[in-house]
């Protein structure tokens, strides 16, 4: 048992439950960069661990009624087969000993996820949430576009373990601008259950799973996810989100082989950009918009 990995997983699990951000966006890079785990094994172990983690966070939201079940069904139609296919593709890449290629693929996907979070933050600040915080009418769910979002996110998760809480959540927000933040988090966590189950089966069949590594992640992450999910339904992640974007940016550049100078300048640029964006959006926020944010919990989603 790796207690240092379990300790890191405790913090990551809390962030997963708090923000809807999946372990792939944080735990997988942590395993590769800090604990020097082989990329293929890190991806496989994280995906399998998510099979247990997702129901914990999703169950909290299901009991509180913050899940759009019709949207979950249509997302799953696309994500389940795509996740299995992604697991097969990454197994073919890593089976030839091309672990550096796996690391670069993960890095580029993380970079896209970080960019998506920035776009999402700006869009979220501009949109107007439902004044009453009412759930999205199931009749407004669009089957085909929702299934296509599932395909994109599912393939990304199977390929890199990243996607359900980053790529998919940004696309969902753009497709359904009136979907409340709490319902967005709950729906994303629940739809990710069949998604990661399919990806996990693919990685069990094709991947490089290490049970000891997976167990260490679960021991730390399970209590973290449970605590974070309880906090998320009544809290906000607006303070932690800028730091997460910066961490994702630096992690992604590290995985694609950027120099230390590039990492330093990228971190500085990310911090400056985030400060400017949040300063501008706060100045533009009207009293009416602030009231809407107080009624409907602010953005609680980030990335997987």
132-190 per-position pLDDT tens digit? 456 788 888 999 999 999 999 999 999 998 877 778 888 888 888 888 777 887 888 89
Total tally of structural domains belonging to the chain? 1
Give the domain extent around 171.
Answer: 3-295
Residue 85's pLDDT is what? 95
Please tell me the distance from the alpha carbon of residue 223 to that of residue 84, in angstroms, as a whole number: 28
Helices (H), 141-240: 143-160, 167-175, 181-206, 211-232
Question: Is 284 contained in some domain?
Answer: yes
Question: Is 302 contained in some domain?
Answer: no
Question: Is 303 contained in some domain?
Answer: no
Question: Is 301 contained in some domain?
Answer: no
pLDDT tier at 274, thresholds 50, 70, 90: low
Instruction: Answer left, alpha or beta for residue 163, where phi above 0 means left and psi between -120 and 50 means alpha.
Output: left
Phi, psi of 258 (to 5 degrees): -70, 150
Question: Is 237 contained in some domain?
Answer: yes
pLDDT digits (tens, 9 = 90+) for 115-130: 877 777 776 666 554 4
pLDDT digits (tens, 9 = 90+) for 217-237: 989 888 887 787 677 655 555
Residue 290: pLDDT over 70: no
pTM for the model: 0.76
Question: Is 256 contained in some domain?
Answer: yes
Please tell me the distance from the alpha carbon of residue 127 to that of residue 142, in angstroms, as a whole number: 20
Please tell me the distance from the alpha carbon of residue 20 to that of residue 209, in angstroms, as a whole number: 24
Residue 300's pLDDT is what? 41
The pair of three-digit structure tokens given for residue 283, joined into one six-digit string = 């100045």
Question: Is 29 contained in some domain?
Answer: yes
């Amino acid at each position: 048992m790796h207690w240092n990995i379990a300790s890191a997983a405790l913090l990551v699990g809390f962030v997963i439950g708090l923000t809807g951000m999946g372990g792939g966006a944080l735990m997988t890079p942590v395993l590769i960069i800090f604990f020097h785990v082989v990329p293929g094994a890190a991806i496989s172990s994280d995906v399998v661990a998510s099979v247990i983690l997702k129901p914990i966070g999703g169950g909290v939201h299901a009991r509180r009624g913050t899940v759009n079940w019709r949207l979950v069904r249509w997302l799953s139609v696309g994500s389940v087969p795509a996740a299995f296919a992604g697991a097969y593709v990454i197994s073919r890449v890593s089976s030839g000993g091309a672990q550096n290629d796996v690391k670069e693929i993960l890095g580029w996907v993380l970079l896209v996820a970080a960019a998506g979070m920035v776009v999402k933050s700006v869009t979220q600040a501009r949109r107007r949430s439902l004044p009453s915080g009412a759930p999205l009418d199931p009749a407004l769910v669009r089957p085909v576009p929702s299934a296509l979002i599932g395909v994109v996110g599912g393939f990304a998760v199977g390929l890199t373990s990243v996607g359900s809480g980053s790529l998919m959540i940004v696309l969902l927000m753009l497709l359904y601008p009136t979907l409340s933040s709490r319902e967005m988090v709950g729906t994303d966590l629940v739809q990710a259950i069949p998604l990661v189950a399919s990806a996990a089966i693919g990685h069990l069949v094709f991947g490089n799973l290490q049970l000891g590594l997976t167990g260490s992640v679960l021991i730390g992450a399970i209590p973290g996810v449970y605590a974070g999910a309880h906090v998320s339904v009544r809290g906000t992640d607006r303070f932690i989100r800028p730091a997460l974007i910066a961490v994702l940016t630096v992690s992604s550049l590290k995985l694609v082989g950027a120099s230390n100078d590039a990492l330093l300048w990228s971190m500085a640029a990310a911090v400056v950009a985030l400060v400017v964006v949040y300063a501008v959006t706060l100045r533009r926020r009207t009293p009416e918009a602030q009231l809407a944010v107080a009624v409907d919990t602010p953005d609680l989603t980030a990335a997987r």
